Structure 1
Amino acid sequence: MSTLNQLLAPGAVNLRGNAATWEEAIRLAGELLEQADATTSEYTEAMVASVVENGPYIVVAPGFAFAHARPSQAVHRTQISWVRLETPVEFGHKTNDPVTLVVALAATDSSTHLEAMKELASLLGNPHVRTQLDAVSTEDELREVLARGGVGTPAAAEQSATTQANSGHAYAADSVESKGKIYTVCGNGLGTSLFLKNTVDQVLDAWGWSKYLTVEATDTISAKGRAKEADFLLTSGEIAATLGDVGVPVHVVEDFTSLSEVDHALRELYDV
């Protein structure tokens, strides 16, 4: 069984969700976690409050929102829920709206769900699999797609964008020595930043640069204090505005699951 299927609570799937607002969409996903006894209602409200505070940074890919909040006593165990909306909902994201798929994560710590996030990011970054996810009609069908998908190779269309990067590297005259670290940043450091970290890791693997660079997912508070330890920060537009000037470049990524967008960002930042 895939890690995603293990964390997807039995019955915590709604493939015909109805919501008029983004708050209602998050609450639909949160209520499924509550019904599975994975969380209390306080956690659902914390997921809503996180977007109120930080903006629609959880909309990490076209049509997809990853709802979550920090671990707390409101979380009984690490689980996810899955909601596909009948009518798309606007979250206020300038490029990835409207949202049709909301996955909610409740985590008891910062590490138990890491493998599942890698799987989910890889699935959503594959257009063929995303089409299947948008077409399933039952929980069993959804679980079959999740089980088949796993962590595989990037979609062919995007993989081709990463295979040329290691063919040679001419540094600009004003280049400085790398610190060997990249931070991906989100509000809580355990959800959307992991999506972005996974995509960055895939690009660096394709380049053959993984042995030279460490990619670390972190939260806004930690990023502000430790930014100068990294070459640069990758994050959403909303989190970038929260971070402000941290002494190193902060680059905005719109689609956290897009290998081609991250590939382009790294080429620009590393002058490849």
Structure 2
Amino acid sequence: MSQLNTLLASEAVDLNARATDWRDAISRAGKLLETSGAITADYTAAMISSVEENGPYIVVAPGFAFAHARPSAAVKRTAISWVRLQEPIEFGHDSNDPVNLVVALAAKDDRAHTQSMKDLAKLLGNKDARARLDSVSSVEELREVLETTVKKKASASSAGTDGAQPAGTSAAKTVESKGKVLTVCGNGLGTSLFLKNSLDEVLSDWGWAKLVNVEATDTISAKGRAKEADFILTSGEIAATLGDVGVPVWVIKDFTSLSEIDAALRELYAL
């Protein structure tokens, strides 16, 4: 069973939800986690507060919001909930609104959910799988999509050519590099990890996985450590919070778009 399915309790799924606004949508996702015994109401409140403080940075892909907060005593176990809205909701994001799918993550620490975030990023980056997620009518059908898509992706990756280079690039980068890139979000474990997984996949396709270390972190840590990195990748909302940190800060609109991340790397590394 995929880790996504392991973390997703059947009672934490609502495929026909209605929400009045983005706060209500997150509340519904949090309530499912509360009902399944994964969190207390304090964590739901923290997920809402995170967006109030940082803006709609959790809307990481078209139509998709990834609600989360920092690990705390309000999290009893690592889990996710799944809310598909009957009517899409505006979160205030300039390119990824409106949202019809909200996945909420409750993490006990910053490591337990790593594989599930990789699987989720790959799942949402697959157009066919994303379309199926919008049409499934039962928990069983949802679980099948989560399971089969992850397995197919893993098989395709293992069949690829290790160290393959995209057209027009070379193994040695064309700028002096510190060998590190930071992906940043408000909490350092949700959307930043989501973006890290997509960036890691692009670097792997390029054959640069051993040349560039990608670290997911929060805004406070990023401000102090920015000069350790070649650059920072993040959302528009978090970029505004960071301000001038002494290295380029590049905004990624769709955290599941490998082509957008590929283009950003080519620009930043002058390829």
Q: TM-score, normalised by structure 2?
A: 0.94
Moved over 2 A (4+): 163-172
1:118 correspondence with 2:118? yes
Matched position secondary structure for 1:77:
coil
CA distance in structure 1 between the aligned counterparts of 2:2 and 2:238, rounded to whole angstroms: 31
Deviation at 1:165, TM superposition (A): 2.6
Change in CA separation of 1:170 and 1:191 when aligned onto 2, cut-off 3 Å? closer
- Taking the aligned partners of 2:171 and 2:122, their CA distance within structure 1 comes to 31
- How far is 1:20 from its partner? 1.3
Code of the residue aligned with 1:45 in structure 2: it is A
State the distance in 2 between where 1:79 and 1:119 align.
Answer: 14
In the TM superposition, residue 153 of structure 1 has moved relative to its aligned partner by 6.3
Residue 100 of structure 1: CA displacement?
A: 0.2
Q: What is the CA distance between 1:154 and its match in structure 2?
A: 11
Partner of 1:182: 181
- Separation (CA, whole Å) in 2 of partners of 1:210 and 1:70: 28
> How far apart, CA to CA, are the structure 1 residues paired with 2:124 and 2:172?
34
Is residue 2:85 matched to residue 1:75?
Answer: no
Question: How many Å separate the matches in 2 of 1:251 and 1:125?
Answer: 20
Give the distance between the partners of 2:168 and 2:239, measured in 1 at CA.
32
User: Is the Cα contact below 8 Å between 1:122 and 1:154 reproduced in 2?
Assistant: no
Question: Residue 247 and residue 154 in structure 1: after superposition, are their counterparts in 2 closer, same or farther (change >3 A)?
Answer: farther
Matching residue of 2:201: 202
TM-superposed CA distance for 1:167, in Å, is: 4.1
Task: Flag structure 2 segments of 5+ consecutive residues without an equivalent.
Answer: none
CA distance in 1, matches of 2:169, 2:106: 43
CA displacement at 1:150 relative to structure 2: 1.2
Q: Which residue of 2 aligns with 1:165?
A: 166
State the aligned residue count: 266
Offset, 1:233: 0.2
Amino acid at match of 2:68: H
Q: Supply the distance in 1 between the matched residues of 2:243 and 2:154 (Cα, whole angstroms).
A: 35
What SS does the corresponding residue of 2:134 show, helix, strand or coil?
Answer: helix
CA distance in 2, matches of 1:154, 1:131: 21
Provide the residue aligned with 2:232 in structure 1.
Answer: 233
Question: Equivalent residue for 1:35?
Answer: 35
- In 2, the alpha carbon distance for the partners of 1:176 and 1:261 equals 20
1:139-181 deviation line (CA, Å, top 9, x unaligned): 11101110111161699xxx9xxx7636434999xx6410000
Q: Which residue does the alignment assign to 2:58? A: 58
- Correspondence for 2:85: 85
1:10 aligns with 2:10: yes
Q: Give the structure-1-normalised TM-score.
A: 0.93
